[in-house]
Amino acid sequence: MKIGIVCYPTFGGSGVLATELGKALAQKGHLVHFITYQQPVRLGSFTPNILYHEVQVPTYPLFDYPPYETALASTMVDVIKNNDLDLLHVHYAIPHASAAYMAKQILKKEGKHIPVITTLHGTDITLVGRDKTYAPVVTFSINESDAITAVSENLKAETLSHFHIEKEIEVILNFVDVSRFNRKPIDAFRKVIAPNGERIFLHASNFRKIKRVQDVVQIFAEVNKQVPSKLLFVGDGPERSTAEDLSRELGVCDEIRFVGKQEQMEDILAIADLFLLTSEYESFGLAALEAMAAGVPVVSTNAGGLAEINIPGVTGFMSNVGDVHSMTAQALSILKDDATLQGYKERAAAHAKKYDIHYIVPQYEKLYERFL
Ligand code: GMT
């Protein structure tokens, strides 16, 4: 098949998922065309069967806001026509679903039918999409998609309760390439981070308010009083300075490293002992699944789709949003001795195998086939 994939090219979960999907499809012999404003960060080096089309958004003094959606729709038309694509799969509804609708209508006039599949990822529905500034366009363009998928049962339910959706929403869970995350720790790296054998905590996100990174610092500060430990913060975003300030206030800043956006997550996860995800909402929590795949237990909130992937007492624990005391106690219980921690690590890795790329990608292929 010749498949167009539209996504955000960033470290965000939707971009990561879309890029990994495109890479997997290409490996299976499909021809994949990425249409984004930048090369997706997870794309890596040259891969046969993958083509990349950059969306250029020309500026003009009149434009306070350069019209990205128009440029995207035009690029879609150009790529679909000139490469005779079979279908377009857009990830994250805003503005990808409405740009795809526009491209579809333009091509229809020219006698080309292009099926559009929209995958909903989370904040496009639960946060941004619900805002009345966007909601009518989001509702319309989702309904106009030939197929709609959501990355968890929870996101499907959220979509149905907040938008008037006239079509079936199919749940195709997020996936992870287990073989990629199944790495041995690099001892020298572990020694740099935890020279005295301290436990290593990890949090990775875009540091938006919804992630509640201040809770991560609080939990870590409490655990650190009892268990020698270090915390790695991966990623960057608006709340990073809040986390930095709090870590100084709580006297743990020497135990915390902010390592910024990182491409080699598998190497970082390989040295971690516990992943903290304190979000107010996660449609799925791909970062937590990647952690499990690397054999890292997860202490998280029970918000949204996290309850579908984190199994209490098996892969980690869950608490109500903001309940840092409970999450502290849970982290301590996982770290209480080597054998207990090892048990959680093994079970987390085993559980992640259920979400392996080899099970999930065929579900997308099957969906695509229905439209060919
Ligand atoms: O977590 C974010 O804020 C980034 C966001 C995105 O769209 O890139 O992630 C969403 O999609 C991921 C992939 O499907 C999910 O794993 C995340 O849970 C979801 N984030 C939220 O729902 C907040």
Residue-by-residue pLDDT tens, the chain, 372 positions:
999 999 999 989 999 999 999 999 999 999 999 999 999 998 987 888 999 999 999 999 999 999 999 999 999 999 999 999 999 999 999 999 999 999 999 999 999 999 999 999 998 888 888 889 999 999 999 999 999 999 999 999 999 999 999 999 999 999 999 999 998 999 999 999 999 999 999 999 999 999 999 999 999 999 999 999 999 999 999 999 999 999 999 999 999 999 999 988 999 999 999 999 999 999 999 999 999 999 999 999 999 999 999 999 999 999 999 999 999 999 999 999 999 999 999 999 999 999 999 999 999 999 999 998
pTM for the whole structure: 0.95
Instruction: Please give the distance, rounded to the nearest whole angstrom, from the Cα atom of residue 281 to the centre of ligand 1.
Output: 9
Distance 108 CA to ligand 1 centre (A): 32
Same domain, 272 and 136: no
Beta-ladder partners of 277:
300
Shared domain for 284 and 242, answered yes or no, is: yes
Same domain, 194 and 154: no
Helix ranges, the chain (H): 13-27, 68-83, 93-109, 123-126, 135-144, 153-162, 178-181, 187-193, 213-226, 240-249, 265-270, 286-293, 306-309, 324-334, 338-352, 357-369
* 133 and 242 share one domain: no
The alpha carbon of 95 and the centre of ligand 1 are apart by a number of angstroms equal to 16
- pLDDT value of residue 130: 86
Ligand 1 centroid–CA 151 distance in Å is 9
Give the C-alpha separation, 19 to 39, whole Å: 10
> How far is it, in rounded angstroms, from Cα 116 to Cα 96?
10
Distance (Å, rounded) from C-alpha 22 to C-alpha 53?
A: 14
Same domain for 169 and 309, yes or no, is no
In the reported structure, the alpha carbon of residue 124 is separated from the centroid of ligand 1 by a whole-number distance in angstroms of: 9
Which of 7, 11, 14 has the most ligand 1 atoms within 8 A of CB, as the residue to mutate? 14
CATH of the domain at 342: 3.40.50.2000
Say whether both 23 and 122 belong to one domain.
yes
Residue 310, amino acid: N
204 in the same domain as 56: no
| Ligand 1 lining (C-beta closer than 6 Å) | 12-15, 17, 92, 121-123, 151, 174, 206, 208, 210, 281-286
CB 247 within 8 A of CB 256: yes
Indicate the residue type of 151: V
Question: Which residues on neighbouring strands pair with residue 136, listed in sequence order?
Answer: none
The strands making up 316-319's β-sheet, listed across from edge to edge, are 256-260, 229-234, 199-204, 274-277, 298-301, 316-319
> Does 141 lie in the same domain as 38?
yes
Domain tally, the chain = 2
Same domain, 114 and 32: yes
Task: Give the Cα-Cα-Cα angle 171, 301, 208 (nearest 5 degrees).
Answer: 85
Residues 157 and 112 in one domain: yes
pLDDT at 113: 98
pLDDT at 126: 86
Instruction: Report the nearest atom of ligand 1 relative to the CA of 124.
Output: 7
**How many other β-carbons are positioned within 10 Å of the β-carbon of residue 170?**
14
Residues 321 and 194 in one domain: yes
Residue 307 lies in domain: 178-355
